[in-house]
Amino acid sequence: MKQLVENFTLQLQEALDIAGKASLNKKANIQHIVITGLGGSGIGGTIMTELAAHECPYPVIINKDYFLPEFIGPHSLVIVSSYSGNTEETISAMQQAIDKKAQIICVTSGGRILDLAKQHGFDHIIIPGGNPPRSCIGYSLIQLIKIFQFNGFVKSDLLADASAAIALLNREEKAIQADALILAKTLHRKIPVIYSLGSCEGVAVRFRQQVNENSKMLCWHHTFPEMNHNELVGWAEPHENMAVVTFRTTYDYKRTVKRYDVCKPIFEKQAATVTDIMAKGSSRLEQFLYHIHLGDWASCYMADLKGVDATEVDVITRLKNELANF
């Protein structure tokens, strides 16, 4: 897993090369966009919805279930994201999109989803397979960006931002690893409580998932300002086994920042530690990728500190095997 994390910028560059060669048809009469995918395949969709929210004139939602919303129809664009191509929930959702005559684009390395895409003549982008899906967010996210940019759903040149992010991460690699190790030691034997200040909830979700899978730890995430209306009350008493982590960007809204400034002393009093991580980069995508890379490293270092294999996910494999017999 460490090698895969270390090669993240190589993956991003390869993903950009794949996107540059992708053959797509522009979609017409689109009224809404649904990205359907789960786990390591779905997190790129979560982040894409945040990137698109500031520019896309159409509603964009991420679907992480067997079922699509009832409103799906011929004016829907359904982007099917499954790294393996065999995710059963995503196959189910794709079949519903076919039945409802939605417009469909697939991002996958193969499997049943690629077979269906070829059978029905759907646009599809093939990405390299063979690795844990959570280690391949660069492949899927860049293809989603390609789809949005190609169809004019976003105005910013996010592909150029991705190139800039590669340069940024390469320059900052040693510092990122050093900061990630400090974070890992801070979170060791603690329950991480991960917060976003509203501008990058997808990053917080990503770190939670990596802590779960790589570090074999439970944790949770929440976001400002929503947590001010519920979870904040839970900090009325000490939680010495919990460590707060916040992912910050220069896009954090000023009133949300003020909310955090008021809450931070409460966390400092009641939690074991509070760690603020400020992203580097000049664009939203650069800052997101900076946070993702740092968080990925931290999750691997946390696995080292626990003495566990960051790659192993036997419990998920066991679940899939049981479902295969159901």
Q: Which residues are catalytic?
A: 213, 229, 320
CB 157 within 8 A of CB 277: no
Which region, left, alpha or beta, applies to residue 72 given φ > 0 means left and ψ of -120 to 50 means alpha?
beta
Both tokens of residue 2? 């460490």
Cα–Cα nearest to 285, from 165, 152, 149, 136: 165
Whole-angstrom CA distances from 307 to 85, 134, 299 are: 32, 20, 12
DSSP H or E segment with residue 89: helix 88-99
Beta strand residue intervals within the chain, DSSP E: 32-36, 60-63, 76-82, 103-108, 123-126, 191-196, 220-223, 239-248, 271-278
Q: In the beta sheet, which residues pair with residue 77?
A: 33, 103
Q: What is the DSSP letter of 151?
A: T
Which residues neighbour 98 within 8 Å (Cβ) at sequence distance 6 or greater?
104, 116, 120
Rounded to 5°, angle at Cα 42 from 128 and 60: 120
Find tokens 């650069």 and name the residue: 286
- What are the residues whose beta carbons fall under 8 Å from the beta carbon of 248, sequence distance 6 or more? 197, 276, 277, 278, 279
75, two tokens? 């004016």
Q: Kindly provide the b/e burial profile for residues 10-25, where b requires at least 16 CB atoms within 10 angstroms of the residue's own CB.
A: ebbbbbbebbeebeee
